[in-house]
């Protein structure tokens, strides 16, 4: 397909994002194509490892291509979004559980759906341009694609902070927070990829000294508070105007749900548990949340002035995260 270059080169299965003008945004068919490729290489003796990278300097993958989900939701066709999220999450789980090494080279923007691809690889390489984030609270969604699983395992209260603010992480912060493993200057990536293709030898991955991680020294104690309003009160006491501005701009429902989900994911034994919980929210997103309004304001009209209307009460958060019965995420079914 035009948006991905999927092939075998030497000992490697290769997946390259090839739509740099769209910041390599992940479409529904791209998610399905990645999953099919992984299935095809699982038992292929010629494939020792999988390498995922992207064309262009600006982005590995800046998120999911959700314009089609938005249009379908406006028309009342909620099943389109449900199918997209289900197939995407199955692909995320396939990457996390893959029996062969997956090496992801993540430059530029790595956001949302991009984290769902690169963030679950077994070997995650970042460089000087890398900017990793889960900014879903700003579009009325929640950190999905296994994002709550990753956030829940970040040190201290970094998970809550990143979920609520959507703050971007450079290479040092991404490694510290558990979203990446190795820093390597991007000028060295092509040579390493070529050697991995030739040999399939993971010992060739030798990182350089990672840049500093500002998250190590930030006081994130306000994010230990029980609720989003409590967190805001604590930040106001600290006089943290910059973070407060972000929280006041984001969807109250998305932040409340995201906070609950990151904390719930700390008790999950596998990423599929976190993905299943995320799917309960996204299954209902086009009908019962701020998602359509957030996408309109931030992506479609770009007026950056969303009118958040959804109920952010604990009861409504619980309802949105309640089991879906027969519509729970099925890990085997792929139409």
Active site residues: 64, 113, 136, 144
Say how far apart CA 15 and CA 21 lie, in whole Å. 18
Quick one: how far is CA 101 from the chain centroid? Answer: 20
Say how far apart CA 334 and CA 252 lie, in whole Å. 33
Bridge partner list, 7: 14
**Residue appearing with tokens 């006491």:** 237
Backbone region of residue 145 per phi and psi (left: phi > 0; alpha: psi in -120 to 50; beta: other values): left
Quick one: how far is CA 4 from the chain centroid? Answer: 19
Structure token digits, residue 72: 């379908």
**Listing from the earlier edge strand, what are the strands of the sheet with 4-9?**
4-9, 12-17, 49-54, 102-106, 123-126, 182-183
Say how far apart CA 114 and CA 334 lie, in whole Å. 21
Read off the DSSP letter of residue 333: -
Q: What angle is formed at CA 324 by the lines to CA 322 and CA 328, rounded to 5 degrees? A: 125
């Amino acid at each position: 397909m035009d948006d991905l270059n999927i092939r075998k080169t030497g000992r490697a299965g290769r997946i390259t994002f090839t739509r740099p003008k769209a910041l390599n945004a992940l479409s529904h068919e791209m998610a399905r194509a990645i999953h099919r490729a992984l299935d095809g290489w699982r038992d292929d003796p010629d494939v020792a490892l999988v390498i995922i990278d992207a064309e262009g300097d600006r982005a590995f993958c800046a998120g999911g291509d959700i314009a089609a989900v938005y249009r379908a939701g406006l028309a009342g066709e909620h099943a389109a979004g449900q199918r997209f999220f289900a197939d995407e999450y199955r692909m995320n789980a396939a990457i996390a559980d893959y029996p062969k090494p997956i090496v992801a080279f993540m430059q530029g923007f790595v956001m949302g759906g991009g984290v769902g691809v690169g963030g679950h690889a077994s070997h995650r390489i970042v460089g000087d341009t890398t900017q990793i984030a889960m900014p879903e609270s700003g579009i009325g969604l929640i950190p999905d694609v296994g994002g709550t699983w990753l956030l829940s395992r970040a040190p201290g209260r970094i998970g809550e902070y990143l979920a609520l603010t959507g703050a971007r992480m450079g290479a040092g912060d991404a490694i510290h927070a558990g979203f990446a493993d190795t820093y390597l200057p991007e000028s060295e990536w092509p040579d390493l990829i070529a050697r991995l293709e030739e040999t399939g030898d993971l010992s060739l991955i030798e990182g350089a000294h990672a840049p500093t991680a500002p998250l190590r020294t930030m006081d994130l104690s306000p994010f230990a508070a029980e609720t989003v309003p409590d967190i805001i009160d604590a930040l106001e006491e600290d006089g943290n105007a910059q973070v407060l501005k972000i929280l006041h701009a984001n969807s109250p429902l998305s932040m409340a749900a995201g906070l609950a989900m990151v904390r719930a994911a700390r008790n999950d034994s596998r990423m599929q548990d976190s993905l299943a919980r995320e799917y309960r929210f996204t299954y209902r997103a086009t009908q019962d949340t701020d998602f359509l309004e957030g996408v309109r304001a931030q992506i479609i009209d770009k007026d950056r002035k969303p009118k958040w209307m959804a109920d952010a009460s604990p009861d409504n958060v619980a309802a949105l995260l309640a089991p879906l019965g027969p519509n729970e995420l099925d890990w085997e079914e792929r139409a």
